[in-house]
Amino acid sequence: MVTVALRCKRNEARNISKREAWCDPPVSGGKKPPQVVVITGASTGVGRATAIEFAKHGAKIGLLARGRSRLEAAQAEIESGGGQALGIPTDVADAAAVERADDEVERKFGTIDIWVNNAMTTVFSPVQEITPDEFKRATEVTYLGTVYGTMAALARMLSRDRGCVVQVGSALAYRSIPLQSPYCGAKTRDPRLHCIGSL
């Protein structure tokens, strides 16, 4: 189950099933149109599971991740279940690449209703053994990838006065653990974005 944290206070975060109206498109004629959902980090793990679940409910899915073969496998899995998906190899640490992917999804499926920022990377190592470039990459993907995804989504959603941005959080934003300093550091930044995520 995906947790949606779109309010400024942690205690206002809701489970998607309890507050699905936050992410529902307008209903016309009593029938809800298919949603268009973009998920970053969609080729494996939580991102892929989220994509598959949205597809089961009829959403058209934009899959963003770097690995082409895993994206193709995720897209094939969704399509084999009767869903629609578009895998776009994208490095979320590249703001222009995120914008291009956003445009490509909208050309294929129409306006984006839900954007899920899920992409992350880390380095499992004692802090003294991590290079500056490794810290930089983990921060760019985990934190700036969320920033760039949010910016791309809001650029379109605000003018339409509808949409939903989901920030996939982590308990490690609140309590760090050994061997995970790049990820923990990047995730402590995410809660600040929750205040702008709801339209």
Question: What positions carry a catalytic annotation?
Answer: 183
**Structure tokens, 113:** 């209703």
Contact (CB, 8 A) for 15 and 21: no
Beta bridge partners of 147: none
Q: Which residues contact 40 (CB under 8 A, 6 or more apart)?
A: 47, 64, 65, 90, 92, 116, 117, 118, 119, 145, 149
Instruction: Give kind and range of the element (H or E) at residue 103.
Output: helix 95-109
Q: What's the full length of the chain, in residues?
A: 199
* Residue 145 buriedness (CB in 10 A; 0-12 / 13-18 / 19+): buried
Instruction: Give kind and range of the element (H or E) at residue 36.
Output: strand 36-40
